[in-house]
Amino acid sequence: MKSSGKFGAFGGIYVPEPLMPNLEELEEAFLRLSVDKEFLCEFERLLAVWAGRPTPLYHAKNLSDAWGAKIFLKREDLLHGGAHKTNNAIGQALLAKAMGKTRIIAETGAGQHGVAAAMVGALLGIRTEVYMGEVDMERQKPNVFRMKLLGATVHPVKSGGRTLKDAINEALRDWISNLHNTHYMLGTAAGPHPFPTLVKFFQKVIGEEARRQCLEQNSSLPDYVVACIGGGSNAIGIFAGFLEDKNVGLIGVEPAGKGLETNEHGAVLEKGTPGCLHGMKSMLLQDADGQVHETYSIAAGLDYPSVGPEHAFLKSEGRADYASATDKQALEAFSELSRLEGIMPALESAHALAYAKQLASGKGKGKTILVNLSGRGDKDLEQVMAYV
């Protein structure tokens, strides 16, 4: 490998030896194509004409009035497919094609990455197979239908807690068994090097656009940028635009589930300890023996016991802060955004909103807060209706 893929003490490459040639191949292709004009042109073209970039920056005035801060929403929910996942899926599918791969596999939690993979697979004519935990298939049914209608195969994962973590395990096993023809399209900025770096590369368009749009619309940078954290790809994507702006506070919001005092949450950065899972060193919810805990969140896309290594690094460096929001707070935020702005957020993104509300009533009062509205809520209707 050309790089160790380390972010301070986190990241790296911790995979079984048989996977190494594939990671070497992927790193080589990424390093070559990420500076290749033709490749970048095609990536940007598809982002624009197929996926609908740039996505708007929206000043949510009603919400601002209600919460007491100037709230801007980066509307990734309007991206084709309904979430930011499409950015990364296009980028990686183009990489896969350039590497001559004829099959794409992906894991999915909320189903948004699976849908993005299925859409891009259909577009580029690459066979796509998605691993999804049985629990998640049940709670995100509309996305299962979408993947199937787009021509992808959905493999139910029955091991472990049958959620995102287990879907990644199965995808990794598939990849080890099908090295020659298959690209593993990892959906978040986690996993072994080079995934955290390349997923950030394909997602940084969110932050670059948002920074420009803030300057255009508000003539200043925001005081805070808030994004939800599962693996952390939408957050690293929007943070990427502001990392050098030291006066902009970056805040990632983890799922507190039924409360941090219970065992039913996914607040990895707040409650976890350093560990190694899915090819990377990062923070991890685990017991004293190193067995990985089952996590819980109402939002399937945040239900993950580890986190992208760059977030663990940004926290250790003090460059970003990490907070959390409970299921209940996320549901309230879902409802408020729906009623006040006519926008239904994904339950994942609702966690970021819930924290923005708290921020607006405290140290963020009267300040400008940029929230990454990473996805739309259509997939969550059945779940939310059960609570209303």
Geometric angle at alpha carbon 100, from 87 and 122, rounded to 5°: 50
Decide: 138 and 108 in contact? Cβ < 8 Å.
no
Lookup: tokens for 337 = 């955004």
Lookup: tokens for 52 = 């609908």
**Whole-angstrom Cα distance, residue 85 to residue 88?**
6
Our CB check for another protein shows the closer of 191 and 207 to be: 191
- Pick the catalytic residue from 74, 85, 357, 379: 85
Other CB atoms within 10 A of residue 45 CB: 11
**Which residues in this chain contact another protein in the complex, by CB under 8 A?**
1, 4, 12-18, 20-21, 159-160, 165, 169, 172-173, 176-177, 179, 274-279, 281, 284, 286, 288-292
Our CB check for another protein shows the closer of 292 and 340 to be: 292
| AA letter at 305 | P
Lookup: tokens for 252 = 């990632």
Catalytic residue status for 107? yes
Q: Report the nearest approach of another protein to the CB of residue 327 (Å).
A: 24
Catalytic residue status for 374? yes
Our CB check for another protein shows the closer of 13 and 337 to be: 13
Q: Report the nearest approach of another protein to the CB of residue 82 (Å).
A: 29
Give the 3-state secondary structure of residue 163.
coil
Our CB check for another protein shows the closer of 170 and 209 to be: 170
Q: Report the nearest approach of another protein to the CB of residue 143 (Å).
A: 24
Range 87-101 burial, b when 16+ CB lie within 10 A, else e: bbbbbbbbbbbbeeb
- Pick the catalytic residue from 282, 297, 349, 374: 374
Q: Is the dihedral of CA 107, 138, 267, 165 positive or negative?
A: negative
Our CB check for another protein shows the closer of 297 and 306 to be: 306
Q: Report the nearest approach of another protein to the CB of residue 383 (Å).
A: 26
CA-closest candidate to residue 224, choices 358, 127, 102: 358
- Pick the catalytic residue from 27, 76, 107, 170: 107
Q: Report the nearest approach of another protein to the CB of residue 320 (Å).
A: 24
**Whole-angstrom Cα distance, residue 238 to residue 324?**
18
Catalytic residue annotation: 85, 107, 374
